[in-house]
A and B are shown apart, each in its own frame.
Chain A
Amino acid sequence: MTSLVVAEHDNRILADATARTITAARALGQPVEVLVAGHGCQAVADAAAGLDGVDTVLLCDDPLYAHPLAEPFAALILSLAERWDAVLAPATSHGKAVLPRVAALLDVPQISEITKVLAPDTFERPVYAGSVMATVKAPAGKLAITVRPTAFAAAGAAPAPAPILSLPAGPDPGLSAFAGETLSQAAGPELTSSKVVVAGGRGLGTADNFQLLAHIAGRLNAAVGASRAAVDAGFAANDCQIGQTGKVVAPELYIALGISGALQHLCGIKDAKTIVAINKDDEAPIFQVADLGLVADLFQVLPEIDAELARRGYN
C-alpha cells in the first residue's frame, strides 16, 4: 500500500508545498504516489516525477480538473482509495477544501495541518491558534492528513525520474462550476516559500504607505505579507494575510511594520528565523517575539528604510 500525495499546482507549475508534503509522506514509511490531476498539466507531472522520494506519479489530465473544484477532486481520490493507506494534501485553500470530503466519505477522521510526524500514526498539530501543540494518534485504517508545508523541508531532486502512470478521469459529481478568478498581482517571490517577508499592518495607515512597503520588499526581493487588519482595510489582497486563518510563513527574515502582534498573527510567523518589528508603541506584543525591535513612527521610518536600502545597493 502507499501514501498518496495530492499535488498542488496551477496546471503549469508544481507548487513548492507539494515537495514539502512529500517529505511528510515519506515519514509514514510507505511508497509515495503523487496525484497530479489537472488539465494540460504534463509539465507538472514531469516536475513531480523529478522529486526525490516519489515512487510513482499518477497523472489524470482531463478538463474536469482544469480548475481545482473540491467535489470532482474528492471523487477522484475516493475512486483511487484501493491504492492508498494514507492521503496527504498540503494545507492550502484547495487541500483544505478537498480532504475533509474524502475523509467523511471513508468514515475516517481527518488530521488537519500536521507539523510533525512522530510515528506513522502519530502527529503533532497546533490548536488554539498555535497556543497549544497537540499530539494525536490516529486509529487503525486509512489516514487523511493535511500538512503544514512550512513545517517540512522540501524534497530535493531525484537521481532518476519516477514513472508517470496516466489515469482516466474519475466521476463528475456535477455539483459546482468554476466561474472565474481574480489572481492578485503580487510581484516577487511566493509568500509561503520566500526567504524574506516584509509585512504590514493597520499601523501603515494608508494604502500609499503599503505601496511604499511593497517597494521596499521589492528591493529586498521579499514577498509582501499583511495582518488581517491591513487586508480588511484594503491595503493588501486577502492572499497576503498571515496568521491563524491566513497563511503560515517561515522565512529567514520577517519584517513586521505597524503590526501589533495579536496571537492570531504571531502563530503564522513563529517559525521565522529572525523577526524584526517596527512599531511606534514600545509595549506592542510583537516586541516580545522580535529579535530586533525598533520603536519608531512608520511615516518617518519607511522613507528612511527605502533610502538606507538604496544606499546599501539594494535595487
Chain B
Amino acid sequence: MYIEEIRTLTNLPTETLVEIVELGIVEPDGQNLDSWTFSDIMLLRIIRAARISRDLEINYAGVALALSLIDELELLKMENKSLRRLIDRHMCSGSN
C-alpha cells in the first residue's frame, strides 16, 4: 500500500503519517514519501498508534515510546512463558 491508501484507510493527514514514520513507529520500504510502501501489519500499527494518541491524549513521540515498551514487554512475556513451560517440563519429568 502507498501512502495515499493509508491516508484513506486511517483518515490521518500526510504530516501525521510522516511523523509516525520519522519516529520509527513503522518503517515502510522505499526512499521517499511517494515511494513508501506499507504492509498490512504496518497499517494495523498505524491505526493502533492513532487510537492510543487520541484516546490517551499523548503525542506520537509518547506513542512511539509506549509501543516500543509494549513490544519489549510482549517479547519478554512470551519468553517468560516459554521458559516457565520448559522449567515445568523438567520439574515434572525429573520428579517421576
Q: Do A and B come from one complex?
A: no
